[in-house]
Homo-oligomer: A and B are copies of this chain.
Amino acid sequence: MSNSLVISVDAMGGDDAPDMVVDGVKLARKRFPDVRFLLFGDEARIGPLVAGDSALSAVCTIRHTASAVSGDAKPSQAVRSGRQSSLWLSIEAVKKGEAAGVVSAGNTGAFMAMAKLILRTLPGIDRPAIATLLPTLRGESVVLDLGANAECNANNLVEFAIMGEVFARTVLSLDRPTVGIMNIGSESGKGTDTVRDASARLQDSALPIRFMGFVEGDDLGKGTVDVIVTDGFTGNVMLKTAEGTAKLYSQFLRNAFLSSLLARLGYLLSRSALQKVKARTDPRRYNGAMFLGLDGVAVKSHGGTDALGFSNALAVAIDLVRQGFNESIKDEIAKVQVLPSTVSVSHAV
């Protein structure tokens, strides 16, 4: 057992923590029976939840923590006063080598700030980014940044492109994923100086990236490229707009199916087919956003998710660890830095 993969879990993060978190670990245990979990949080609350399930107890170790970071705490404040929190200590377990990756459904800003301090950014990376997979007509695409950096310069976007490309190769098993930068038109003169500058650098660079130029908002659903690069403000609004539109559409559908007896009958007949659509667009399926650019695997779950969603975030962390993602991305970034035309050189021009 001592050689098995260990995932560190902030058991106090998320709207329905710790119950939702422990239930998520329960589900993950069934999918990954040889993984162990290190749960950080209030032992008085977590203990009873774990104790009732002997299979769960066998793969969980509880580490009592006296405090938790609240959902509305400012990152700077959390970093100052939260050194004994479940969030801080669960990240520290990765740094100490006790765990191979950490998952939290808690305060995103605090998680990122603490992870930067504890795990450190990778050499050559200025700013970490948050990346996730989203469903498209062609399958799935990687989108980053989803909100770690509200304002970005061209160099940040180029770094996101490099990291996103490695992420897509790892999680989507693609040989040469395509990369695009989000803009308000596909012509080269469109948009802000930042996106035009980033695009020019990727176009001119010797980076081994299949850069396809600019993409637009509807290219997310179309799956035009495998990796969509954008600043954290736009990415966050995009992600939530897509989620909100899917909900709107499914609510309109629900109303339509309830609008007549015939429609209700139609729903019953097509129900199993429709449930596949629901499953494919279920936000819980895409739960688990990776912090890219840190020296360690750190995965953020939605705060409002349920046990199934949390178990998917755990699965993302487990997959990334198993596929040696952290080592791959370090290698790739090191390669980029010895290329004749590197990011840093372009940056200086």
- Copies in the assembly, this chain: 2
Known: A74-B189, A237-B237. A137 touches B248 (CB 8 A): yes
A44 CB within 8 Å of chain B = no
Within 8 Å CB of A222, what residues of B?
244, 247-248
Could you tell me if B269 and A244 are in contact, using CB atoms closer than 8 angstroms? no
Measured in the bound complex, the distance between the Cα atoms of B218 and A266 in whole Å is 29
Minimum CB distance partner of A265 in chain B = B269
Measured in the bound complex, the distance between the Cα atoms of B268 and A137 in whole Å is 24
Which of B137, B252, B266, B276 is within 8 Å of A271, CB to CB? B266
A349 CB within 8 Å of chain B = no
Could you tell me if B238 and A238 are in contact, using CB atoms closer than 8 angstroms? yes
Which of B241, B243, B256 is within 8 Å of A276, CB to CB? B256
Interface residue count on the A side (C-beta < 8 Å): 66
Could you tell me if A217 and B241 are in contact, using CB atoms closer than 8 angstroms? yes
A240 CB within 8 Å of chain B = yes
A34 CB within 8 Å of chain B = no
Select the stretch in A93-101, A228-236, A320-328 that faces chain B: A228-236
Could you tell me if A136 and B248 are in contact, using CB atoms closer than 8 angstroms? yes
Residues of A contacting B: mostly = helix
Could you tell me if A262 and B252 are in contact, using CB atoms closer than 8 angstroms? no
A253 CB within 8 Å of chain B = yes
Shortest CB distance A234–B (Å) = 5
Within 8 Å CB of A271, what residues of B?
266
A211 CB within 8 Å of chain B = no
Within 8 Å CB of A136, what residues of B?
248
Residue interface bits A261-277, CB-to-B below 8 A is 1, else 0: 01101111111111011
Could you tell me if A256 and B273 are in contact, using CB atoms closer than 8 angstroms? yes
Known: A137-B248, A246-B249. A273 touches B263 (CB 8 A): yes
Residue interface bits A204-242, CB-to-B below 8 A is 1, else 0: 000000000000111111100000001011101111111
Could you tell me if A233 and B270 are in contact, using CB atoms closer than 8 angstroms? no
A319 CB within 8 Å of chain B = no
Which of B137, B185, B241 is within 8 Å of A220, CB to CB? B241
A187 CB within 8 Å of chain B = yes
Within 8 Å CB of A244, what residues of B?
217-222, 242
Measured in the bound complex, the distance between the Cα atoms of B222 and A252 in whole Å is 12
Measured in the bound complex, the distance between the Cα atoms of B137 and A247 in whole Å is 9
Within 8 Å CB of A237, what residues of B?
182, 184, 216-217, 230, 234, 237-238
Measured in the bound complex, the distance between the Cα atoms of B192 and A265 in whole Å is 50
Shortest CB distance A231–B (Å) = 9
Shortest CB distance A263–B (Å) = 4
Q: Return the 8 tightest CB-CB contacts between A and B, nearest first.
A: A217-B240, A266-B270, A221-B244, A266-B269, A218-B244, A221-B248, A263-B273, A217-B241
List the interface of chain A (C-beta within 8 A of B): 72, 74, 135-137, 147, 150-151, 182, 184-185, 187, 189-192, 216-222, 230, 232-234, 236-253, 255-257, 259-260, 262-263, 265-274, 276-277, 280-281
A-B pairs with beta carbons under 8 Å apart, 8 shown: A150-B192, A217-B236, A221-B244, A241-B241, A262-B272, A263-B272, A263-B274, A266-B270
